[in-house]
Structure 1
Amino acid sequence: MVFFFDKGLLGMGNILFFSGVTLTIGFKSSLQFFMKRQNFKGSISFGVGFFFLLIGWPIVGMILEAYGFIVLFSGFWPTLAVFLQKIPIMGWVLQQPYIRSVCSVC
């Protein structure tokens, strides 16, 4: 738990996240994704959160990064929900009435 808010480890995680996205979809596509007009709010929030991590404010940085991550990848949540419904046991659980009432995307 002590290392959870370590700025060095969090910084390395962010660098690995960006490099993973870049290696997965390519440099040009990742640059276009982060620079889209509709993704500016998420990109700026993620960048400011990374800055706060580097200057030593990990809690504020993680909150801003989490918000930026949710805003950036909000278009993928419906796709993820469809994918999870196709997994044998997980799909059955997600299709239960009490789960469907909580999760409107599923």
Structure 2
Amino acid sequence: MVVITEFQKIGVGLTGFGLFFLVFGVLLYFDSVLLAFGNLLFLVGLVFITGLRRTAQFFVQRYRLRGSFFFLGGVALVLCRWSVIGMVAEAYGFFLLFRSFIPVASEFVLSMVNIPSLYTLYQSLSGSSSSEVGP
């Protein structure tokens, strides 16, 4: 059984509020104040969930430096009120940081949705030789 500490519970709440403010800021035509607040809440929530040392180690790993630069640079641009350019930089950095996780997440989502034609299309695009439908 996984034990969740109080700091991690607070971190989940902060991360959730951060994502809410990010989505709300994008919906309001890239409102820089909401995006900046969302970015700060998201990053502080991430630190609360994983810890300061593990968060720093994640962003400073050699093969993730370019993604970290774009993501954190995008946060800095949003804080300087260049919200559209900052969000584009953040999205690119987020993609670079988590690109190895995207196939795993997409396969999980597709297996949960269980749409055979969509799953078959994904299998053919990913180059898998398996012709099974579903997990």
CA distance change for structure 1 residues 99 and 81 in 2, over 3 Å: closer, same or farther? closer
Aligned-partner Cα distance in 2 for 1:92–1:67: 29
Q: Which has the higher contact order (CA 8 A, sep 6+)?
A: 1
Q: How does 1:25-104 map to 2 (within 5 A)?
A: 25-87=50-112, 90-93=113-116, 94-95=118-119, 97-101=120-124, 103-104=125-126
Consecutive unaligned residues in structure 2, runs of 5 or more = 1-25, 129-135
Distance in 2 of aligned mates of 1:65 and 1:56 = 14
Q: TM-score, normalised by structure 1?
A: 0.79
The structure with more radius of gyration = 2
- Calculate the TM-score normalised by the size of structure 2: 0.64
More helix by share: 1
Residues 1:79 and 1:48: Cα distance change in structure 2 (over 3 Å): same
Give the aligned length. 102
CA RMSD of aligned residues (A): 2.3
Q: Secondary structure at the match of 2:126?
A: coil
